[in-house]
Chain A
């Protein structure tokens, strides 16, 4: 199978999963005792006519399976429905909020990769030496500490006590500088957006960093014991080249997979970090939708985040297949 066909195959495979996600979210959102209508009415629950009118408007009077079919046919047309609370199309609402979340998640990954890979390599190179012990301890803390608490501690230290960084909000580098009253020119825009991004990025990226570092260390240790490393040594290749090229290249492949699979923790983490840092992304939209019983919006966001994860895994799978020469795009089982 060629790479192109493999891509097609993986996309096809994703279809039942995406349909499954829609079923699960639909069931969860519609089976529960939470009643959006009564919530909307704010105490006017006794007005039967009003209730019926609202139910009719949102199709809530129809049986469940019919509502699902309506929902799905909407989905295929790219229509995610109407938010009850905001009275706007769900898709529009999400489009407004996806930017900050993507910025947060991607920068967290960048932070994680940039720190974890050198540390993991160093730990493997100095195995069982103090450097190794320290970095393993850091990794242990990273996987054991809730991201939102890291965020809180960072705020307490760097925003509240030291006042170096702002404690809430983001500045979006893609907007024109004139959007922000206090910002003058693009340079300051980028500087400010970085200043705002730094703390949430570290808070969200720490868990990823720790996970990647652990894998990197194990992979490098294994790779450094490979026969090909012995061969390189026997032919006078320097330890530096062996570490940076021969052993390193082999060790990076599993990292790709880890990055893809961790996407779900990163997305979940984004919800928490957006709450801690008051960032208006998908996560807060989701939390607000939940508390407002805005089930259409909740379904839309859940679908969206699930799709994001599926797509992320497909992308990593394909890049793995592209990068690792040994992969023979085979059937998966």
Chain B
């Protein structure tokens, strides 16, 4: 692994300005992706994973907006703000224009595999035609060459009779087959990074397994980096090299995958792991996470996880922890944003535990009263 990351995200903030108030969907996250690795972005739905991954390509739609932070890809500033002479934030000069992001980054440098294979392909164009258009656009190939490449990619992702199926429409493909098409589309652009946004969520388990094997195999072959967005710790264990755990718009733990599983440093990650079905455990042993994730529109004070945290103490209600390095593994830091670690030194040990059922102590934020 090289020392300079392929993608560096620093303190990224994306907010949605709705009538009900500002939703801080992504609230200052930082992470890196190095060449050839698969980085997981894990969390419950609503944690801000998808918004974060779309922010990397500046694909946030209104009323959402990236309001802060920096995204650097191969040394180029995809997004970056600086303070102007008048004290206002403004876009940095070296930030790529909309045109440049669209033409140079989207597709040919960073490609996306979408969540919903049933809806992501245009119903009125042939599968092959859609694939060809994307290849033409991102690789600068002629129509014929793009067509040949599209058929080749369909074969590559395991679609039988690719020549015939090239002419078919999306509704003639099963969900798993459509997801393969989407993977083919991403790979065909020969990007250095692929953002896979919960690509297997909509599929049934057997197909999910096939798709994951396929990605694993193709990733080894093409040496593409991946950001794998998921809520499924099982998938993370299977394919990711390093993992970022998100909770309510923030990254709460960041570590190489083995480290994360064996030396979990954040109570939320632990809760996620405990709620995961495993062959060595019965259903009765599953421990669902207590409570409901609060709305990002009015996050709890202090540590955002404290209303649901079994280890929460009085101090957690007051002090908001930023991720700190709490251990090191394979030259990668193991960061966690939990006050119980010594790195924080805010008097956690001396603080009184929060009383009672975690759900009832959800201070300041209604789990359900948001609307």
Contact = CB atoms under 8 A, between A and B. Distances in A.
A and B touch in the complex (CB under 8 A): yes
Interface of A: 226-228, 230-238, 246, 249-250, 253, 324-326
A233 B111 CA distance: 11
Interface stretch (B131-139, B153-161, B217-225, B283-291): B131-139
A239 B102 CA distance: 10
A235 B116 CA distance: 16
Given A249-B124, A325-B124, A231 B114 contact: yes
- Ranked 6 nearest A-B pairs via Cβ: A227-B119, A236-B106, A235-B107, A325-B169, A228-B122, A236-B107
B14 interface: no
Contacts of A326: 123-124, 169, 171
B137 A228 contact: no
27 contacts: A228-B119, A228-B120, A228-B123, A230-B114, A230-B120, A231-B112, A233-B59, A234-B107, A235-B106, A235-B111, A235-B112, A235-B138, A235-B189, A236-B106, A236-B107, A236-B137, A237-B137, A246-B122, A246-B125, A249-B124, A249-B125, A250-B122, A325-B123, A325-B124, A325-B126, A325-B171, A326-B169
Given A236-B107, A249-B125, A325-B169, A227 B134 contact: no
Interface string B173-191: 0000000001001000100
Contacts of A246: 122, 125
Nearest to B125: A249
Contacts of A233: 59, 106
Contacts of B15: none
A69 B80 CA distance: 83
A232 B112 CA distance: 10
Contact of B59 (A228, A234, A324): A234
Contacts of A238: 102
Most chain B beta-carbon contacts within 10 A, residue among A228, A235, A246, A325: A235
Given A227-B120, A235-B138, 19 more contacts: A226-B119, A227-B114, A230-B59, A230-B120, A231-B112, A231-B182, A234-B57, A234-B112, A234-B114, A235-B106, A236-B105, A236-B106, A236-B138, A237-B137, A246-B122, A246-B125, A325-B124, A326-B124, A326-B169
Contacts of A230: 59, 114, 120
Contacts of B182: 231
Nearest to B123: A326
B269 interface: no
A235 B169 contact: no
B342 interface: no
B335 interface: no
Interface of B: 57, 59, 102-103, 105-108, 111-112, 114, 116, 119-126, 133-134, 137-138, 169, 171, 182, 185, 189
B185 A235 contact: yes
Contacts of B169: 325-326
A234 B137 CA distance: 12
Nearest to B197: A234
Contacts of A325: 123-124, 126, 169, 171
B226 to A, nearest CB: 15
Contacts of A231: 112, 114, 120-121, 182
Nearest to A253: B124
Nearest to B117: A227
A20 B138 CA distance: 58
Contacts of B121: 228, 231
Nearest to A249: B124
Contacts of B112: 231, 234-235
A301 to B, nearest CB: 39
B90 to A, nearest CB: 24
A234 B101 CA distance: 10
A326 B137 CA distance: 26
A176 B259 CA distance: 90
A246 B120 CA distance: 12
Contacts of B133: 237
B107 to A, nearest CB: 4
A249 B169 CA distance: 14
Nearest to A251: B124
Contacts of B57: 234
Nearest to A232: B122
